[in-house]
Amino acid sequence: MSEWINFPEKKPYCSRDKDALGTEVLIWPRPSAGNATAFYGRRVTGRPEFYKYGAVIHGVRWWKPLPMPPKE
């Protein structure tokens, strides 16, 4: 699995498409509720941010891509 990446030193990919959900990644520190994944995109505010369930997540310092799903 990949190493943690410092944010904002390097940011996840962010699509400029109007209806794009963003890129789902693992984040740290994780939100107080839910699991440690979030989307990074423009969907909530129109500028690139981490968000989950329609709420912006502040204070993300590290992120990494999700692992590949298992092969069946």
Residue 72: the pLDDT is: 81
| H or E element at residue 23 | strand 23-28
Write the CA distances from 68 to 11, 25, 42, 44, 47, integer angstroms. Answer: 19, 12, 24, 26, 27
Determine the distance from the C-alpha atom of residue 70 to the mean position of all C-alpha atoms in its chain, rounded to a whole number.
21
Q: What six digits make up the tokens of 65?
A: 């891509």
Residue 10: the pLDDT is: 96
Cross-strand bridge partners of residue 52: 55
DSSP strand pairing (23-28 vs 37-41): antiparallel
One pLDDT digit (tens) per residue for the chain, 72 residues: 579 999 999 999 998 887 788 999 999 998 776 779 999 999 888 899 999 988 999 999 999 999 988 998
Residue 12: the pLDDT is: 96
